[in-house]
Amino acid sequence: MNAESLEGEDRPGHTGYNYAYLDEQTKRMLRRALLKAVAIPGYQVPFASREMPMPYGWGTGGVQVTASIIGPSDVLKVIDQGADDTTNAVSIRKFFANTAQVTTTTSSERATIIQTRHRVPETALSDGQILVYQVPIPEPLRWLEARESETRKMHALREYGVMHVSLYEDIAHHGRIAKSYDYPVLVEDAYIMRPSPIPKFDNPKLDNCPALQLFGAGRERRVYALPPYTRVVSLDFEDHPFDVETWEESCAICGAQDSFLDEVVTDDKGGRMHVCSDTEYCNKRLAAQGRQEATA
């Protein structure tokens, strides 16, 4: 094909690979899938996932989604467990800096695209931003029904009773819903969706979010999406309303009381401290405190 031979030319900065690694045919296939994902919020669109130069489970879905949307004017932030400096986040950021020649940042505000594994940034997202989630298992009903052919039917018929029963069994046995992360949500009263393994602390941030949220599962070959300002409700019961994790402690570094805290073991005698999982949020607060002290 003539058009194909024009594409994929070498561009400065990398040899032998197309811009943002993926070939144009793959990008088109992914882009079409993403448009359908946006048109049917919470529904999992199958796509022909490619083998990426990083292992499955390391974010191949998120990387493919980012590669199919990113352009040279984007500013990219990558986080893993909320942090910009975890090894896998560093590695993915470098991949795009090399293959797509984009500016990278640790600032949630400056970023046009944020790729994440397991967290939603503490800083509120804004209009025009895109949050790309790396998803290991996209199917919320998977633990209740192993077969894709069955779960497809359950979604088609909105046969979600089994999910409610499973959550209710938790309450019957334990007095509360024992799901802590990857807590299922209902999107626009239609599809039950898996928010990827973010802690349930982050679930409320999905609802009515001004940013576009895209979810990519590479090994399972699915993408799904939440357009901005989409209604996203965490499943619960009237007598057992949804709640999020809370800490008695505050961040040992910046003193935050409103952020998700990682527990750090400081010795083998039960010593613990708590620090923000979102490193950028923590640094920003610390810098602001420094400025206040300087002006005081």
Q: Which of 184, 261, 280, 281 binds other proteins (CB under 8 A)?
A: 261
Concerning whether 251 is annotated as a catalytic residue, the answer is yes
Q: Which of 3, 172, 294, 296 binds other proteins (CB under 8 A)?
A: 3
How far apart CA 89 and CA 62 sit, in angstroms, is 12
Concerning whether 62 is annotated as a catalytic residue, the answer is no
Considering the complex, state which of residue 104 and residue 107 has its C-beta at the smaller distance from other proteins.
Answer: 104
Residues 4-63 that bind other proteins (CB under 8 A): 4, 6-9, 11, 16-19, 21, 23-25, 27-29, 31-41, 43, 45-53, 55-58, 60
Q: Which of 10, 13, 94, 291 binds other proteins (CB under 8 A)?
A: 94
| Closest distance of CB 295 from other proteins, Å | 22
How far apart CA 2 and CA 269 sit, in angstroms, is 69
Residues 186-205 that bind other proteins (CB under 8 A): 188, 190-191, 197-201
Stretch that binds other proteins, among 80-88, 161-169, 234-242, 288-296 (CB under 8 A): 80-88
Rounded to whole angstroms, the maximal C-alpha distance in the chain is: 69
**Which of these is catalytic: 8, 218, 251, 270?**
251
- Do 75 and 109 form a contact (C-beta atoms < 8 A)? no
Helices 60-69/24-39 angle, 10° precision: 100
Concerning whether 209 is annotated as a catalytic residue, the answer is no
Quick check: 92 binds other proteins (CB under 8 A)?
no
Residues 220-239 that bind other proteins (CB under 8 A): 221-222, 225-231
How far apart CA 204 and CA 293 sit, in angstroms, is 33
Residue 138 CB contacts under 8 Å (≥ 6 apart), including other chains: 44, 194, 215, 217, 220, 222, 224
Q: Which of 165, 263, 290, 291 binds other proteins (CB under 8 A)?
A: 263
Neighbours of 143 (CB within 10 A): 11
Helices (H), 51-107: 60-69, 87-99
Per-residue contact string for residues 120-139; x = within reach of other proteins by CB under 8 A: ----------------x---
Residue 173 DSSP SS3:
helix
- Do 266 and 272 form a contact (C-beta atoms < 8 A)? yes
Q: Which of 159, 169, 245, 249 binds other proteins (CB under 8 A)?
A: 245
**Which of these is catalytic: 61, 82, 276, 290?**
276
In the block, tokens 């895209």 appear at 214
